[in-house]
């Protein structure tokens, strides 16, 4: 039983140990923050979604990248379009809420929302993300 309990508690204990180490040393825990990528139909929609994300305090910042060409399969057909990409910097713990919110306001039937954990970066910038986005 002790072995089973140890195996089950390992992820929790490891997480606590990483947080304690980070607190004591000031080091960054990889994956604490994420960058989400969100595709938008045009600049107007991209700005509206970016502003809404910021008003909800779901991100520290949102970059709106210029128009790019996009190829995708939609309902079995190859589609060519243009797209504006949002780069959203946030806490990893907020990605689910961010995704749900964007899906509720995005005009696409299935909006492209993908997040990638941030492994490393400028420690002061990563701290700023954490300071800018409220904890759960």
Let me know if residue 17 belongs to a domain. Answer: no
Domain count, the chain: 1
Let me know if residue 103 belongs to a domain. Answer: yes
Q: How many angstroms separate the CA atoms of 51 and 31, rounded?
A: 25
Let me know if residue 112 belongs to a domain. Answer: yes
pLDDT of residue 4: 74
Residue 77 is part of which domain span?
31-132
CB 29 within 8 A of CB 18: yes
Let me know if residue 7 belongs to a domain. Answer: no
pLDDT of residue 18: 61
pLDDT of residue 136: 77
Strands (DSSP E) along the chain, which ranges?
Answer: 33-40, 61-64, 68-74, 77-91, 113-117
| CATH code for the domain in which residue 94 is found | 3.30.70.120
Let me know if residue 70 belongs to a domain. Answer: yes
Let me know if residue 100 belongs to a domain. Answer: yes
Q: How many angstroms separate the CA atoms of 77 and 123, rounded?
A: 44
Let me know if residue 115 belongs to a domain. Answer: yes
User: Would you give per-residue pLDDT tens digits along the chain (136 residues)?
Assistant: 777 777 777 666 666 666 665 666 667 788 899 999 999 999 999 999 999 999 999 999 999 999 999 999 999 999 999 999 999 999 999 999 999 999 999 999 999 999 999 999 998 999 999 999 998 7
Two tokens, residue 107: 């005009």
Would you state the torsion angle of the CA atoms of residues 101, 106, 111, 117, taken in this order, to the nearest 10 degrees? Answer: -40
In sequence order, what are the beta bridge partners of 116? 35
């Amino acid at each position: 039983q002790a072995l089973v309990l140890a195996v089950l508690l390992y992820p929790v204990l490891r997480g606590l140990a990483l947080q304690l180490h980070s607190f004591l040393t000031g080091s960054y825990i990889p994956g604490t923050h994420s960058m989400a990528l969100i595709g938008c139909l045009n600049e107007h929609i991209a700005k509206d979604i970016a502003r809404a994300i910021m008003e909800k305090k779901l991100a520290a910042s949102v970059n709106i990248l210029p128009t790019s060409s996009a190829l995708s399969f939609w309902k079995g057909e190859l589609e060519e379009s243009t797209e504006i990409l949002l780069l959203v910097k946030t806490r990893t713990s907020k990605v689910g809420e961010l995704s749900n919110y964007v899906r509720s306001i995005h005009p696409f039937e299935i909006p492209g929302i993908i997040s990638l954990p941030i492994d490393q970066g400028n420690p002061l910038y990563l701290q700023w993300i954490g300071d800018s986005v409220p904890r759960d």
